[in-house]
Chain A
Amino acid sequence: MPMPQKMGRGDEMGRGPYEKSGIINDTGLPPGKTVEEHFEIPFYTEDVTDDNDRVIERKLMDNTLELNVKLWYLPYGNKQSDPFIWQEYTQTITVSE
């Protein structure tokens, strides 16, 4: 959502429509532009350590991972007021054992 400037001055955001003038930042999606986000999610592993507490092996506990990506629409900037799941994507991801 747009982060409106309070009374058109300084670094503080204004929230009520009576104090908003200007925009400091916008966390929303601009029209016609592709916005890309990149995530890296670790699989479930457990580390094996030697006597000196050094990690010597990282054991894969499950080679599948249930991925669930949700695009939340937060018209008021938080999940308390009218949150809405816009798009959702699920996939089972695997790696070799």
Chain B
Amino acid sequence: MKKTKNTLMAFLACIAAFVLIATSAFAAGVGKDGTIVAKKGKATTIAELVAMYDSTGCIDCHEDTHDEWANSAHARSVYGTGRTAATMKTALENGVLSWAYSGAESPEDVEVEHLMGCAKCHLPQLADATDAVAKEFIADIYALMDAYRNDDEEKFDDMKDTLLSLNINCLVCHNRMAITHKWTDGYPQDGTVYGSSDGEHEDEAYPHTKVSPIMSESIFCGQCHGLGPNFELDNPTQCATAYGSYLWAYTAEGGTETCQECHMEKSGLGHDMQSYRSKVMSDAAVDFEVEAYGAKWRDGRLVTPKAIVKVKMTNRTGHAIPDG
């Protein structure tokens, strides 16, 4: 009897040892334990998620950059113009909750995974939160839409502010998304902002700067600007496809400029990355040429005068327009 027990204990110890080995020696990704989420632990509330990537401190020293960014769509990547938040609700109701095999029947069942089909690009840091945050997020979107319907301005503004606090901010780009090839270049580390040089950084919470090999490359923007169906999801979705168009219809046909060159440098807009709503962008987008003259068409005895109009349009951007 005693012997069996000992053997069992030894067996259990063996499993424990194996589990230990499995997590240390065989886990993919060296340096994954140094990322912001690994250091701070998964966020369990929206407030914690906002705090995890809090970029308000950057304003002190990078005010101009902040002001440019604040005017861009990245600063309201889940609220959008209101349309994005509304579409998230539709996506949930007509999508996730209506699908037989999604595993969610009501908003309370929603988990992070159900939202990554949108959050992958609109709020990538949601992957660093627990399912409680997914439920809180959905509850807030419902509360926003209800407040809108009931003309409850105070509640609406409250929910709008919460959703606006979730966005693609300085640290999302200059840390979380700054490295695409993590096995080649390493995992983005807490305490470091990624840019164009290795060195010290005056910010106490982020005392280091490191080179991001992709910050000035189109692939950096491509992470969120879409190729087509996102196959890594159990139920693929597709929203933006500008990066796919850029690769196969622009660079493959000889185009050489990067997203950053057109959107940040030539436009003079810096971090205020814009579409046609900004005049510099809409002016740069299409060559439009019209040639028109009058002529008299004859058919038998009848003369029909008409204007002959030839319109030529050339898209001068780096992708098909409009996108989406």
Contact = CB atoms under 8 A, between A and B. Distances in A.
Interface residues of B, number: 58
Contact of A17 (B237, B276, B318): B237
A21 B317 CA distance: 24
Query: Is chain B's interface secondary structure helix, strand, loop, or mixed overall?
Result: mixed
Interface in A20-45: 20-23, 26, 28-43, 45
A79 interface: no
Interface string B286-314: 10101011111000011111111111111
A75 to B, nearest CB: 5
A1 B246 CA distance: 15
Contacts of A28: 320-322
B320 to A, nearest CB: 5
Nearest to A65: B307
Contacts of B301: 56-57
Given A17-B239, A19-B95, A32-B255, A93 B293 contact: yes
A31 B239 contact: no
A63 B222 CA distance: 54
Contact of B292 (A33, A74, A91): A91
B319 interface: yes
A2 B323 contact: yes
Contact of B324 (A1, A35, A93): A1
Interface residues on A, range: 35 or more
21 contacts: A1-B324, A2-B241, A8-B236, A17-B87, A20-B238, A29-B321, A30-B320, A31-B249, A31-B253, A31-B317, A32-B249, A32-B254, A32-B255, A58-B302, A67-B292, A71-B311, A75-B322, A75-B324, A87-B286, A87-B288, A91-B290
Interface of B: 87, 90-91, 94-96, 117-118, 228-229, 235-239, 241, 245-246, 249-250, 253-255, 276, 282, 285-286, 288, 290, 292-296, 301-324
Given A2-B320, A74-B322, 20 more contacts: A4-B238, A16-B90, A16-B94, A18-B91, A18-B96, A18-B118, A21-B236, A21-B237, A30-B245, A31-B250, A32-B249, A33-B314, A34-B314, A55-B302, A56-B301, A57-B302, A65-B294, A91-B292, A93-B292, A95-B295
